[in-house]
C-alpha cells in the first residue's frame, strides 16, 4: 500500500482547517468533517483496490540480445478490475543501462489489456539480468495506491550483432545489398576454375574453344569456367588495450567482433570458408575455416566469450601460431588499431611475414572525435596549436596506410560505424579482382 500525492494534499488541507479553527471556530468543525470524509474515501479506495487480485503483467523479449542494436522489450498489462484504473509500470531493467525513464503511465478500462513496448541498446557482451515488474494501481479517487510485484526475473545473454547479420541476410536474398552501401564491382578477366566442356553456341567466347575436344567430336566444344571456390577467410582480432577505445559507448573490439560475424556470413554465401583467430599477449583462440551447416553458430558462440585485456599484443606469437595452424594460402583480415606510425613500425616485420605466406588486409580505425575537433574553427591561439597537434595524429594514420602499401600490404582505414560495410566492400573487391 502506498499513499500518493493526492492523499497528502487532502491531508494538508484538513490540517489547515484545524489550524484555522483557532482563529475562526467553524473551520474546526469543517476540519473534523474533512477528516471523516478523508477516512471514508480511504476505506472506499482500499476496498476497490484490494477486493480483487486485479492486475496481471508479464515481460516478453528475445532470449538473447544483439550487441549495439535496438532490442525490443514488450510488457503486457491486463486488468481484471470492474472499474477504470490508472496504472504506473516500472520495469527493473539491468542496471548496466543506467536508464531512469522505464516508467510508463496508462489507463485501463474494466477487463482491458495493453502492451508497452520499448527498446534497449546494449553496448557490452555478457549476461544481463532483468528483475520484477512493479505495477502501481490507483482508482479514479486517487487516495490510495496498491503495488503489485509481477513478472519473473530473467537473464538475457548479449551476443555479437546477429540482428545486423539478419539484416544483411534479408537484403542479400532480395538483392538489395546496395542499400547498405555494398558496391557492385565489375569482374576483371576470366574465371579461373574449370567446370565442364560443352557444345559451342552463338555468343560463347571463341577464346575458350577446346580444340582437342572439338577434333574428337567433329564439332566446336568450349571450356566452361566458374569462380574459384572454397578460399579461406580468417578474421584475426587484436584483443589488446588498443582495442578498448570507445565510440558511441561501444569499444573498437566489439565493432570488430560485429564486423567479423557479418563478414563470415558473407564469405560463406560466396562459397568461401570462414575462420577466426584472436590474440593479445599470447595467441588465444583459433577456429579453423569451414562453411559447414551450423558453423555460423560456432563462430557466434566463440565471439560471445571474447574479452579484451590491458596488455601489449604479441604479433610474433600471432605469426608463429598462424603459420602452424593455417597451411593453405588465405585472406587474413587483421583488426587492430595503430596509434601512430612508430607503433606500426614496431610490428611491420611481423606483418610482412604474414603477408608473404597469405594475403593480409590490415583494418584499423580513424578517430572520429579527433576529426570533428580538427574541423572546428579555433577560438584561441591555444586551440589553434591543439588542432595542429591533432592534425599531426590524423596525418600519421594516413601515413600508416601509405607505408603499408609500399610494403605490399593492403590496409583499410575506416570509422567504427562504417566498419562492417567497408570491410565487406574490400573483401568483395579483392575477391572480384582475384587478389585472394
The three-class DSSP label of residue 368 is: helix
**Spatial separation of the C-alpha atoms in residues 14 and 19, rounded to whole Å:** 9
Which residues lie below 8 Å from residue 190, measured CB to CB, with a gap of 6+? Answer: 208, 225
pLDDT at 227: 54
Question: What b/e string do you get for 221-255 counting C-beta neighbours within 10 Å, with b at 16 or more?
Answer: bbbeeeeeeebbbbbbbbbbbbbeeebeebbbbbb
Decide if 67 contacts 125 (C-beta within 8 A).
yes
pLDDT value for 192: 54
The reported pLDDT for the residue numbered 168 is 60
**Can you give the length of the chain in residues?**
436
pTM for the full model? 0.75
Contact 275, 234 (CB under 8 A): yes
The pLDDT value recorded for residue 432 is 78
- CATH for 56-159 is 2.60.40.10
What cell was used for 369?
572525435
Domain extents in the chain: 5-50, 56-159, 162-186+228-432, 193-226
387 DSSP assignment: H
Per-residue model confidence as pLDDT tens for the chain (436 residues) = 778 888 889 999 999 999 998 888 888 899 899 999 999 999 998 998 888 888 999 999 999 999 988 999 999 999 999 889 999 999 999 988 988 888 999 999 998 999 999 999 998 898 999 999 999 999 988 889 999 999 899 999 999 988 776 666 544 444 445 544 555 544 444 445 566 788 888 878 878 888 888 988 888 988 887 655 578 999 999 999 989 988 888 899 999 999 999 999 888 888 899 999 999 999 999 999 998 888 888 999 999 988 888 888 999 999 999 999 998 999 999 999 988 899 999 999 999 999 999 999 999 998 877 777 788 888 888 888 888 888 888 889 899 999 999 999 999 999 998 898 899 889 988 887 777 6
Asked if 133 and 75 count as a contact pair (C-beta separation under 8 A), the reply is yes
pLDDT at 174: 42
Annotation: CATH topology of 162-186+228-432: Rossmann fold (3.40.50)
Phi-psi region for residue 176, left (φ > 0), alpha (ψ -120 to 50) or beta? alpha
Write the DSSP assignment of 16-41 as a string of letters: HHHHHTTTSTHHHHHHHHHHHHHHHH
Amino acid at each position: 500500500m502506498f499513499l500518493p500525492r493526492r492523499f497528502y494534499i487532502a491531508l494538508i488541507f484538513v490540517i489547515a482547517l484545524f489550524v484555522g479553527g483557532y482563529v475562526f471556530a467553524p473551520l474546526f468543525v469543517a476540519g473534523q468533517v474533512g477528516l471523516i470524509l478523508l477516512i471514508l474515501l480511504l476505506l472506499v479506495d482500499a476496498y476497490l483496490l484490494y477486493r480483487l487480485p486485479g492486475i496481471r503483467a508479464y515481460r516478453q523479449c528475445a532470449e538473447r540480445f544483439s550487441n549495439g542494436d535496438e532490442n525490443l522489450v514488450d510488457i503486457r498489462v491486463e486488468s481484471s478490475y470492474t472499474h477504470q484504473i490508472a496504472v504506473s509500470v516500472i520495469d527493473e531493467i539491468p542496471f548496466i543501462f543506467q536508464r531512469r525513464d522505464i516508467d510508463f503511465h496508462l489507463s485501463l478500462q474494466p477487463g482491458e489489456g495493453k502492451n508497452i513496448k520499448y527498446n534497449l541498446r546494449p553496448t557490452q557482451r555478457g549476461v544481463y539480468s532483468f528483475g520484477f515488474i512493479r505495477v502501481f494501481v490507483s482508482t479514479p479517487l486517487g487516495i490510495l495506491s496498491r503495488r503489485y510485484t509481477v513478472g519473473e526475473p530473467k537473464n538475457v545473454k548479449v551476443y555479437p550483432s546477429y540482428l545486423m547479420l539478419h539484416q544483411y541476410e534479408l537484403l542479400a536474398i532480395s538483392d538489395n545489398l546496395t542499400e547498405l552501401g555494398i558496391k557492385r564491382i565489375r569482374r576483371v578477366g576470366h574465371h579461373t576454375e574449370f567446370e565442364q566442356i560443352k557444345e559451342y553456341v552463338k555468343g560463347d567466347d571463341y577464346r575458350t574453344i577446346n580444340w582437342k575436344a572439338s577434333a574428337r567430336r567433329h564439332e566446336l566444344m568450349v571450356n566452361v569456367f566458374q569462380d574459384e571456390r572454397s578460399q579461406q577467410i580468417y578474421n584475426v582480432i587484436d584483443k589488446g588495450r588498443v582495442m578498448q577505445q570507445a565510440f558511441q559507448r561501444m569499444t573498437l573490439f566489439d565493432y570488430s567482433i560485429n564486423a567479423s560475424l557479418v563478414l563470415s556470413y558473407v564469405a560463406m554465401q560466396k562459397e568461401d570458408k570462414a575462420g577466426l583467430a584472436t590474440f593479445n599477449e599470447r595467441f588465444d583462440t583459433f577456429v579453423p575455416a569451414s562453411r559447414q551447416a551450423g558453423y555460423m553458430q560456432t563462430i557466434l558462440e566463440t565471439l560471445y566469450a571474447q574479452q579484451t585485456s590491458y596488455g601489449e599484443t604479441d604479433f610474433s606469437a600471432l605469426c608463429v601460431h598462424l603459420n602452424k595452424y593455417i597451411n593453405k594460402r588465405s585472406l587474413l583480415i587483421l583488426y587492430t588499431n595503430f596509434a601512430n606510425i612508430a607503433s606500426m613500425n614496431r610490428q611491420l616485420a611481423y606483418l610482412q611475414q604474414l603477408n608473404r605466406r597469405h594475403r593480409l588486409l590490415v583494418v584499423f580505425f580513424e578517430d572520429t572525435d579527433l576529426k570533428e575537433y580538427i574541423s572546428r574553427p579555433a577560438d584561441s591561439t591555444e586551440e589553434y596549436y591543439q588542432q595542429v597537434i591533432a592534425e599531426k595524429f590524423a596525418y600519421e594514420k594516413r601515413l600508416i596506410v601509405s607505408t603499408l602499401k609500399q610494403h605490399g600490404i593492403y590496409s583499410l582505414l575506416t570509422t567504427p560505424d562504417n566498419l562492417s560495410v567497408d570491410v565487406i566492400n574490400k573483401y568483395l573487391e579483392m575477391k572480384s579482382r582475384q587478389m585472394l
